[in-house]
Chain A
Amino acid sequence: MATRTAYETGLEKFNRTNKFVNILFNLIFIILALICVIPVVVVLSISFSSEASIRETGYHLLPVALSGEAYTYIVKQGAMILRALGVSALVTVAGTVLGVFLTTSMGYVLSRPAYKLKGFLTWVVFIPMVFNGGLVSSYFINTNLLGLKDSIWSLILPLAVSSFNVIICKTFFKSTIPDGLIESAEIDGASQLRIFFSIILPISLPVIATIGLFLCFAYWNDWFQSMLYIDNQNLYSLQALLNSLMSNVDALAKNAASMGVSYAVLVATMPKESARMAVAILIVLPVAFAYPFFQKYFISGLTIGAVKG
């Protein structure tokens, strides 16, 4: 552990900001972190409040009267929520792996200055960034041509590549990989595929971690694909489930007039605000655990090692 810390900190150990600046920076970050955490605390607090206590005393940072009401709902809907959690996890992992491969390979190809089709492929990546065929025709292609309707692939494939990520990746490769490294490998007779898989990828862990993190978050946060392509609610992801719970209440309220008397009955069956917030907590929690996993790959110094070695 001690050696690793020394390695990680690298230069800082003999080249640091002074103590006062360090304390100041820490203070700033503590404030920032609090600003980011407090709303989550409020979500947690609502999830533990009883409906009556919110009605009578309003919202609080910490619940006034503790109530497990919301979590009984979660437990009661356990099967549904576990399944949604499973879908989210599967989609996130599979999508991230696939997406990282598709993104980094394209990013690398675009970063090679001498590649003949570079200009052409740049347009292939650029055009979709500004133009798209719209929801209706994408839906048609994905369901009719590709048969993705009601399949887990409809949650994975359409989000695997984003031009934004490809361009970030290309920029990363361009600015962090020394040309000499690839040239020397080419002179050694290594094929481009070999160079990419056994030289570039291993030294690009920070890039992979970044793209992986972006993809992972995008998949975890996505609800729109579920809403559009999944008819069988058993295949809903957690975020989609929450979105559906939240939007149902809203939709009922907005269409009260057209439902006539059924409205009151229907509203009564909707999960309470605390239950909805409990689901929101379920979404945030896994992420708090996932981030450190990616974080450990943001380590400096790997590039030098490879060049020197």
Chain B
Amino acid sequence: MSSKTEQQDKRKRLRNRWRKQDTELTLLALPTTIWYILFCFLPMFGIIIAFKNFRISGGFLSNVFNSPWVGFKNFEFLFKSNDAWIIIRNTIGYNIIFIVSGIVLPVLFAIMIGLLHSRKASKVYQTMMFLPYFLSWVVVSAVGWAFLSFDKGIVNQMLVSMGSDPVNWYMAPEYWPYLLVFLNIWKGLGYGMVIYLATITSLDSTYYEAAVIDGASIWQQTRFITLPMLKLVIVMMFILAVGRIFYTDFGLFYQVTRDSNSLFNVSTTIDVMVYKQLKTATVGMASAAAFVQSVLGCATILTANWIVRKIDPDSAMM
């Protein structure tokens, strides 16, 4: 269809016409699009379970469609909790800290590790910093117990040998906000750095060459070249993280704290609460909880994107 003469046409006219490139790009995007349809969009009819009193009457589809509608009844339990305030405070509070620390620290350390003189050392550090990522939260919980257990833990043994009293860590809520933040950073730091490291290493080095010729110091280069070039990635990571502000890592807040009663006020988040409430509940209530998280997440992510677009249209995700 398209020929060389068409390509020489003015760009303005081209913008609205379907070109050969568009067909080719569609073809390229097709496998992934099919994947999305199969694994993401087809199951979405499941959302209606949140509004139904789910009953078994045969196959799954007939279960879903024959179950009676109950409106928002499945949502009631979410808003009748006595501790709603504590739970929302914990969820959003921890997430704000996680978002900030999850951007600032990896960026900082990615830049720092790039400035190390020895490549070999930097590789060794990176590999070591990755290890925690592979310990599942259940294992982390076991390791935590090895450190913090009252009578067998490493920390208390050290305290006792230094002459102080042992601490019953799992019943001492004052330490846990720090500990949870620490563990979250500890587990994700190595992983979080990868994105920034990859961006830094793939930056066009002509900028740096020019800067060196102009006599810029390594700090000036970092400040005026590296950081601005990372902006796009940082903003994107920020928007993505904000969309998850109503979700927390169940393993961190439930398994690592050993579901300790004393730590309720500092460790209960939306996911933990929903898990506990749903032990006796129905699939409809589980769907309702997930749906509320989705809607809130969608709202925050779109708001964040909108704000970013106002400030700097190029950085916005959509």
Contact = CB atoms under 8 A, between A and B. Distances in A.
Given A221-B136, A242-B136, A157 B39 contact: yes
B49 A136 contact: yes
Chain B contact residues (Cβ within 8 angstroms of A): what range? 35 or more
Interface stretch (A58-66, A77-85, A89-97, A259-267): A58-66
Contact of B126 (A9, A127, A295): A295
A145 interface: yes
B283 interface: yes
B134 A36 contact: no
Interface in B114-159: 115-119, 121-136, 138-140, 142-143, 146-147, 149, 151-154, 157
B286 A134 contact: yes
Nearest to B317: A167
Contacts of A124: 33, 36, 41
B47 to A, nearest CB: 6
Interface string B36-48: 1011111111110
Nearest to B301: A130
A53 B173 CA distance: 30
Contact of B198 (A15, A129, A210): A210
B27 interface: yes
A175 B233 contact: yes
B307 interface: no
Contacts of A5: 119
Contacts of B102: none
B92 interface: no
Contacts of A15: 208, 212, 218, 221
B203 to A, nearest CB: 7
A15 to B, nearest CB: 5
Interface stretch (B15-23, B66-74, B79-87): B15-23
Given A32-B189, A172-B198, A109 B28 contact: yes
Contacts of A229: none
B197 A298 contact: yes
B318 interface: yes
A302 B126 CA distance: 22
A270 interface: no
B167 interface: no
A196 B146 CA distance: 51
B125 A160 contact: no
A158 B124 CA distance: 33
Contacts of A176: 199, 202-204
Interface in B274-318: 283, 286-287, 290, 294, 297-298, 301, 317-318
Interface range, A side: 35 or more
Interface in A210-256: 210, 213-214, 217, 220-221, 223, 239, 242-243, 246-247
Contacts of B42: 133, 141, 145
Contacts of B113: 25, 29
Interface string A290-306: 01100100111111100
Contacts of B199: 172, 175-176, 206
A10 B154 CA distance: 45
A108 to B, nearest CB: 7
Interface string A165-191: 011100110111010000000110101
Nearest 10 A/B pairs, CB to CB: A137-B46, A133-B43, A58-B152, A133-B46, A192-B24, A128-B40, A33-B128, A106-B32, A59-B146, A210-B198
Given A32-B129, A138-B39, A167-B317, 4 more contacts: A40-B135, A133-B47, A193-B28, A206-B199
Interface of B: 4, 7, 14-15, 18-22, 24-29, 31-33, 35-36, 38-47, 49, 60-61, 64, 109, 112-113, 115-119, 121-136, 138-140, 142-143, 146-147, 149, 151-154, 157, 186, 189-191, 194-195, 197-206, 208-209, 212, 218, 221, 229, 232-233, 236, 240, 243, 283, 286-287, 290, 294, 297-298, 301, 317-318
Interface of A: 5, 8-12, 14-17, 21-22, 25-26, 28-30, 32-33, 35-37, 39-40, 42-43, 46, 54, 58-61, 101-103, 105-106, 108-110, 112, 114-117, 121-122, 124-138, 140-142, 144-146, 157-158, 160-161, 164, 166-168, 171-172, 174-176, 178, 186-187, 189, 191-193, 196, 204, 206-207, 209-210, 213-214, 217, 220-221, 223, 239, 242-243, 246-247, 273, 276-277, 280, 283-284, 287-288, 291-292, 295, 298-304
